[in-house]
Amino acid sequence: MTGLIILLVAWSGFWEKFRERRLVSGSAGCFEWEAKQMERRDKIYIAGHTGMVGSALYRKLQEQGYTNFVLRTHRELDLTNQQAVEDFFCEEQPQYVFLAAARVGGIAANMAEPAEFLMENLQMECNVIGSAYRHRVKKLMFLGSSCIYPKDAPQPLKEEYLMTGLLEPTNEGYAVAKIAGLKLCEYYRRQYGADFISVMPCNLYGYYDNFDPEKSHIVPGLIRRFHEAKVQKQKSVTVWGTGRAYRELLFADEMADACVYLMQNYSGGEFVNIGYGRDYTVMEIAKTVGRVVGYEGKILTDPDKPEGMYRKIVDSGKLRSLGWSPRYTLEEGLRMTYAWYVSNCL
């Protein structure tokens, strides 16, 4: 009888482990992780925690009571170095991963350095996702970009429109890399059962954005130009393009809230769009930034400059059906971003 009790106890312990990690038939020794919610004590790795998106995720997770983070700056861990990434995962064994690290930039930077945007993002994605699988991370979230969609896809952009047409040439290198990362997560899920999910945010702005005049996206670029114009008492500010192109914008802290929500509540094989729900013309955005900054001069356009896709708004119907929606208006988000810029970048 004693031997039987010991056997039953041992079997109970084995069964609990078996339920947590079910063997997948086929590939040698591969595991599938069942969907689980993050616990406050779980170890979380945010790749890119010092950037705009990563820092927003870090703040949001802290707000919700998570405390067990493993973090590395770019100087401490070069994500393009495969051996360094593998050593990091081997040493730290994170349980949940947010892959927010990327080489990013605006139209000018993407047009000038497409090779670097493709190569460096591919290296980071392959290294982090591959190591996450080999070290049995419970769940990984990969953050993509709405630039993955075809240039001439119908609006709003539905998830199923991916790879149905040609990409926008001005950021093709970056888009190809992001598509590869998304597909890598999809294939690890399909082939090995890994709980890797992907999200596609629309254009983002917020704290810790890149305000460099040559490499910034639309919002930080406009904030800097309007602020400098106000300080220098310039009579006009010129925006690239006709001003008639549309952009959907989401405050980065709102995007982080959506990501944490999905990490807790979604484990599907399809990626999920994260958007604001409406878009604005570039001129409307410029006027709103000018109002927030307090600039009173004229706003001009330069049609000879590129302006990218004419319209790019994502369909966030799937996200809304899962129970999440944004709270801040565009002007509210811009005011918070401008206040941060004044306090931290001047």
For residue 170, with 0-12 CB atoms within 10 Å meaning exposed, 13-18 middle and 19 or more buried, which class applies? buried
Residue 130: per-residue pLDDT: 98
Burial of 206 (0-12, 13-18, 19+ CB in 10 A): buried
Pick the catalytic residue: 58, 66, 174, 208? 174
Domain for residue 98, yes or no? yes
Mean pLDDT of the region 25-48: 70
Share of residues in the chain with pLDDT > 90 (%)? 82
pTM > 0.95: yes or no: no
User: Do the domain assignments include residue 303?
Assistant: no
Residue labelled with tokens 């929500």: 261
Q: How far apart are the first and last CA of the chain?
A: 76
276 CB-contact burial (10 Å; exposed 0-12 / middle 13-18 / buried 19+): buried
Average pLDDT, the chain: 90
pLDDT confidence bin for 333, thresholds 50/70/90? very high
Q: How far is CA 250 from the centre of its chain?
A: 12
Residue 267 lies in a domain: yes
Tally of domains within the chain:
1
Helix (H) or strand (E) holding 97: strand 96-99
Asked if residue 119 belongs to a domain, the reply is: yes
Q: What is the mean pLDDT of residues 89-117?
A: 93
- Determine the pLDDT at residue 103: 92
Domain that includes residue 41, residue range: 37-206+248-276+314-328
Give yes or no for residue 294 having a pLDDT over 70: yes
CATH code: domain of residue 268: 3.40.50.720
Residue 120 maps to a domain: yes
At residue 183, the pLDDT reads: 97
**305-329, pLDDT tens digit by residue?**
988 778 889 999 999 999 999 999 9
Evaluate whether residue 125 is within a structural domain: yes
- Domain assignment present for 65: yes
The answer to whether residue 341 is catalytic is no
Segment 10-27 shows an average pLDDT of 37
In a domain, 91, yes or no: yes
